[in-house]
Amino acid sequence: MVHGRVSRLSVHDVRFPTSLGGHGSDAMHTDPDYSAAYVVLETDVEDGLKGYGITFTLGRGTEVVVCAVNALAPHVLNKDLGDIVGDFRGFYRQLTSDGQLRWIGPEKGVVHLATAAVLNAVWDLWAKQEGKPLWKLLVDMDPQTLVSCIDFRYITDVLTEEAACEILRQSQVGKKEREEQMLAHGYPAYTTSCAWLGYPDATLKQLCSEALKDGWTRFKVKVGADLQDDIRRCRLIRNMIGPEKTLMMDANQRWDVPEAVEWMTKLAEFKPLWIEEPTSPDDILGHAAISKALAPLGIGVATGEQCHNRVIFKQLLQAKALKFLQIDSCRLGSVNENLSVLLMAKKFDIPVCPHAGGVGLCELVQHLIIFDFISVSASLQDRMCEYVDHLHEHFKYPVLIREASYMPPKDAGYSTEMKEDSVKRHRYPDGEVWKKLLTAQGN
Ligand SMILES: C[C@H](O)[C@@H](O)[C@@H](O)[C@H](O)C(=O)O
Ligand SMILES: [Mg+2]
C-alpha cells in the first residue's frame, strides 16, 4: 500500500565529463557531458524509502532544469503519495497545467524535462513501496488503473480512454508466457557504443570487434557531418559486421529535408535499417516526406528522442512520418505520457524502439519496453531497445545485459537511484571531479 506525505524534494546538478573522450558525440552535439537533474523525494514515513528521478541533459543547461524542478516543487511537497497515485491523471495535469508555469512550456522544453524528473521520482517511490520493479508494477496493474494514469487531453481524436482500455484487455492473452519469456531471454538490444561521431576509425574498429565478440548483432553509427567521412565509416562497419547484421544510422537533426534524402541515397549501399532524426524533430511533414522518399530504398525513418510530447507523436503517426518510434523515458512526461505513446503506437502498428544511453536512460527505459512487450505490443517483430555502455557503474541497480538483451530488473523501483558517492563526486560545480577539472581549465 502506498503511504506517506512528501516531506522533502531535493534536486542535484550531476554531470559526467564524457566529452573528454568524445563519448556520446554526434553531428549536432559534438561535446556532450552526460548529465542529469537528479531529484530525490522523501516522505514522513520512517520506512527509509526515497524516490529518485532523473532527466537527461548534456551538461550546460542542467542548472536551468534544476530551477524548473524547484519551480514545480510546491505541487509535490506535502502531498500524500496515496492521493497522487490515486488520481495520477489529475496530478500529471496539475504539474503540466500550472496556470503560470505552463506559459514556458507547455509540455515541452525545460519545464517538461523537469516534470519528467519529478514524476520519474514519484514512480520510483511508488514501485519501491509496492516492492516491485516498475515494469512489474505496470504489468500487474489492471487496465482501468493503468489508463487512469494517462492524460488523454489532445489525443482523443486517435485514442480514447475506452480504446486504450480495450487494447490492454486484448493484450491480456498470453501475458504470463510473455513475462516468462522476458525473464528467461530478456528484451533484444542494439548498441550505439562503437560509433560515436568523435571516435577515430581505430577506436571504431576496436569497439566494433569487441562488440561482435560480445554477441552484438545490431549496431548504430552516427552520420551527418561530412558525407565522405560517413561513407568511409559506414563501409568500415558494414565490412566488419557482414551483410546479415543490422546497421542503423543517426543524423541527430543535421539536415534539411531534401538534403536528408540526397545524403541517405548515397549511404543506401550500406543497407541501413533506419535513418534516425534526419531533420528537425518538430518537422512532422518533413519526416513524412523523407519517409516516403526513402521507402523505395528500404530505409525507414526513426525519431522520438527529442519529441516534445504525445501530441507530436500522435501527428508523426497520423502523417505516416516514421517507421520506428523512439520513446524517451526522460523527455516525455514520465511513465504517464509514455504509456499513452506506447498505446498509440500499438494502434498504428508501429514498432517502438526506445532511445536509451545518456546517463540512466537505459536503466529507466528498459522497464517501459519490457512492459510494452508483455502488456501492449505482444511482439518483438522489428523491435529492439538501444544500449550504450557508459556510466552504469554510478547506479545502484545497473542494467544487466546478457547476450545482447536487457534482462528484466528484479529490484524494486525504477532503477533510477544513483550511488551516493557518485552524486557527491559529480555534483556541478562543487563535486570533487569538477573542482579538479575546472581548476585545471583555469576556472
Ligand atoms: C548527445 C547524445 O549522445 C545523442 O547523440 C544520443 O542520445 C543519440 O541520439 C542516440 O540515439 O543514442
Ligand atoms: Mg539518436
The string of pLDDT tens digits covering residues 211-264 is 999 999 999 999 999 999 999 999 999 999 999 999 999 999 999 999 999 999
Q: CB 175: neighbour CB atoms within 10 A?
A: 15
CA 86/CA 99 separation, integer angstroms: 23
- Ligand 1 atom index nearest CA of 388: 12
pLDDT, residue 352, reads 98
Dihedral through CA 394, CA 127, CA 122, CA 326, nearest 10? Answer: 70
Which pLDDT band, with edges at 50, 70 and 90, does 275 fall under?
A: very high
In the chain, where the domains are located: 175-420
User: 357 C-alpha vs ligand 2 centroid, how far in Å?
Assistant: 9
Cα first-last separation, the chain: 50
26 lines ligand 1 (CB under 6 A): yes
pLDDT, residue 65, reads 98
Which pLDDT band, with edges at 50, 70 and 90, does 397 fall under?
A: very high
> From residue 132, how far is each of 43, 211, 234 by CA, in Å?
19, 32, 42
User: Could you tell me the three cell numbers for 274?
Assistant: 533506419
186 lines ligand 1 (CB under 6 A): no
Average pLDDT, the chain: 98
Type of residue found at 187:
Y
Active site residues: 222, 355
Edge-to-edge strand list for the sheet holding 51-57: 6-15, 35-43, 51-57
Nearest ligand to the CA atom of 32 = 1
Contact 20, 50 (CB under 8 A): no
Q: For ligand 2, a single-atom ion, which residues have Cβ within 5 Å? A: 250, 276
Which pLDDT band, with edges at 50, 70 and 90, does 309 fall under?
A: very high
Residues in CB range of 150: below 8 A, 6 or more apart: 89, 92, 161, 164, 336, 337, 339, 340, 343
pLDDT, residue 247, reads 98
Which pLDDT band, with edges at 50, 70 and 90, does 443 fall under?
A: confident
- The model scores a pTM over 0.80: yes
Name which of 38, 115, 135, 40 is nearest 71 in CA terms. Answer: 115
Task: Report percent pLDDT > 70 for the chain.
Answer: 100
User: Could you tell me the three cell numbers for 302?
Assistant: 526513426
Which residue owns the Cα nearest ligand 1 atom 6?
A: 24
pLDDT of 326 higher than 90: yes
Which pLDDT band, with edges at 50, 70 and 90, does 1 fall under?
A: confident
What mean pLDDT comes out for the span 377-384?
98
Which pLDDT band, with edges at 50, 70 and 90, does 442 fall under?
A: confident
Domain 175-420: top CATH class: alpha beta
Largest Cα separation within the chain, whole Å, is 62
Which residue owns the Cα nearest ligand 1 atom 4?
A: 24
355 lines ligand 1 (CB under 6 A): yes
User: 25 C-alpha vs ligand 1 centroid, how far in Å?
Assistant: 7
Mutate to test the pocket of ligand 1, among 15, 250, 361 (most ligand atoms within 8 A of CB): 250
pLDDT, residue 241, reads 98
